Amino acid sequence: MVYYLMVCRSLTYAQRTAAALERVGITARILRSPKVIDREGCSHCVKIPERSLTAALVVLNRAGLAPKRIFLQAEDRGLREVGL
């Protein structure tokens, strides 16, 4: 399955992001950012299903929780950054 990883600036923002998404029915899981995308040391990200990206971005923009960066995680576990 394909997922998106939304990089957040802190664990607190990842928790707020996940909570905002869960409130509207979007499955969201908090995890440590993989080393290949972690520029600042210990960032966290929120993992969502591929089909939920558009709705998630609308919800997060309204809540003032826009992610720092977004990566597509393909079935082969490879990561590719997507533009915001």
CATH number for position 33: 3.30.70
Q: pLDDT, tens digit, for every residue of 30-81?
A: 999 888 777 666 689 999 999 999 999 999 999 999 998 999 998 877 888 8
Does pTM surpass 0.85? yes
The single residue listed with the structure tokens 């950012």 is 33
Q: What secondary structure, in 3-state letters, does 15-70 show?
A: HHHHHHHHHCCCCCEEEECCHHHCCCCCCEEEEEEHHHHHHHHHHHHHHCCCCCEE
Residue 6 lies in a domain: no
Query: Does residue 16 lie within any of the structural domains?
Result: yes
Is residue 16 predicted with pLDDT exceeding 80? yes
Examine residue 77 and state whether it is found in any structural domain, yes or no.
Answer: yes
Residue whose pair of structure tokens reads 């809540």 in the numeric block: 63
Is position 75 within any domain?
A: yes
Mean pLDDT of 13-24: 97
Decide if 61 is inside a domain.
yes
- Tell me the residue range of the domain where 74 lies: 11-82
pLDDT at 39: 66
Model pLDDT, residue 43: 83
Are 9 and 39 in contact by the 8 Å Cβ rule? The answer is: no
Number of domains in the chain: 1
